[in-house]
Amino acid sequence: MYLEQRRNHILEYLDRHETLSVAWLAGTFAVSKETIRSDLAALAGLGLIQRCHGGAIVLRRNLQARLISETGGNFEVLLQRLESQRLNGQRGKRKTQGRVCILGSFNVDIVAKVARFPRGGESLLALGSTLGPGGKGANQAMAASRTGARVHFVSKVGKDQFSQFAFDHLSASDIHSFKLYQSESEPTGNAIIYVSQQDGENMIAIYSGANQTLTDAEVAEMTHELSGADVLLLQLENNFSATLNAMKLANTLGVRVIMNPAPFSDDVLKCLQYVDVITPNETEASLLSGVEVTDLESAREAAQAIVRQGAKRVIITMSSRGALILDNGQFQHIPAFPALSVDTTGAGDAFNGAFAAALASGQAIAQAATYAAAFASLAVEREGASNMPDHPQVVARLAQR
């Protein structure tokens, strides 16, 4: 096959698949990876594609892509232009499978399994240790994709050995598409995690690194995927400016926003107006409301206080106590599904990812929260924050109730 022909085929494949790996293209055209890399470099040089970590993604020559370049990187101008486009009814959406866009962290999780948590100043022998993929954003993207949702994930890693690790992890997952940026200055985020064998409870210290360096331009590049999404899901492991911009973009595009305020930061108070559903756990709800959540009654008080601060809908996740919804002045309690808890790390991510996927597929808030509670109950029975169950398992658990 001639070079020109092969390059045209590559473009056709990319149109259909959005992302492809160098290895796949080399196998398909029976040429070396080096040849494919030079094809991609040439196509990128012509501005026809963008490249990312060993693969390629199409540079979409559509209205949004033009808009982004026309606005010269000015985020506020981009929002204004998109708003007028929306008012003119130019936004078309299909409605079959739920589409979820997630902007969030990727971390390398270094996990020590311990008989109990160590005390201050104590050295404790761990029973086992692993190094694996994590980060609330990536875990939530895994969860949503395992339910069958079409997920687009945006994240940022460093220029270190873990960037390839992140790329391989996301490539091997059910996540439909992702964009992984690389920071020049900060390393890939990491988390040091203890998991107690007593009850599967965890303690986590996070160094966010590259996750804190997302730029306005990188957020603006989400516009195309976001414009086709039903839901945008975010957490608080990225620089808040990026999170806030993504919310504003989603609002302008008419995409619902779910904010998982973890790890807690006061910043969340600045964005409640852009959020459709906020999903704190008990600790985050206590910090957000000033009401210590210890039971269902105090959770009700906390949820009301969070609404008074400006939130539209609240779901407080309370592990074994289930979840409490406050929607339009009405409370609804979703009881927890019984589970044999092995590792609670990522339980909140399981809930949020599954909830976003269920909401995106058209389920009502209580139905989506019930689905998410069943999903999370299965997640705590597995080791590893990113190790998520799948849709058939959730269906079986729901049927047990």
Residues marked as catalytic: 349
In terms of CB distance, is 22 or 380 closer to ligand RIB? 380
In terms of CB distance, is 250 or 380 closer to ligand RIB? 380
Q: Residues in contact with ligand RIB, total (CB under 6 A)?
A: 16
Secondary structure, 3-state, 204-230: EEEECHHHHHCCHHHHHCCHHHHHCCC
Residue 62: DSSP 8-state: S
Q: Which residues between 61 and 120 bind ligand RIB (CB under 6 A)?
A: 105, 107, 109
Is 204 a residue that touches ligand RIB (CB under 6 A)? yes
Distance separating alpha carbons of residues 286 and 96, to the nearest angstrom: 38
Residue 338: DSSP 8-state: P
3-state secondary structure at position 133: strand
In terms of CB distance, is 131 or 217 closer to ligand RIB? 131
Please choose, out of 9-17, 130-138, 274-282, 306-314, the segment that lies near ligand RIB by the rule CB under 6 A.
Answer: 130-138
Residue 309: DSSP 8-state: T
For the CB of residue 260, give the shortest distance to ligand RIB in the complex, in Å: 9
- For ligand RIB, the nearest residue by Cβ is 134
Please choose, out of 78-86, 134-142, 143-151, 388-396, the segment that lies near ligand RIB by the rule CB under 6 A.
Answer: 134-142
**Strand-strand pairing, 55-58 and 49-52:** antiparallel
For the CB of residue 132, give the shortest distance to ligand RIB in the complex, in Å: 8
Is 134 a residue that touches ligand RIB (CB under 6 A)? yes
Is 261 a residue that touches ligand RIB (CB under 6 A)? no
Do residues 380 and 143 touch, judged by C-beta distance below 8 A?
Answer: no
List the strands of the sheet with 99-103, edge to edge.
Answer: 177-182, 150-157, 99-103, 231-234, 256-259, 277-278, 313-317, 323-327, 330-334
In terms of CB distance, is 54 or 132 closer to ligand RIB? 132
Q: Which residues between 315 and 354 bind ligand RIB (CB under 6 A)?
A: 345-346, 348-349
**Which residue in 191, 210, 334, 380 binds ligand RIB (CB under 6 A)?**
191
State residue 177 phi and psi, 5-degree precision. -150, 155
Distance separating alpha carbons of residues 133 and 130, to the nearest angstrom: 10
Residues forming the site for ligand RIB (CB under 6 A) = 105, 107, 109, 134-136, 139, 191, 204, 206, 237, 345-346, 348-349, 385
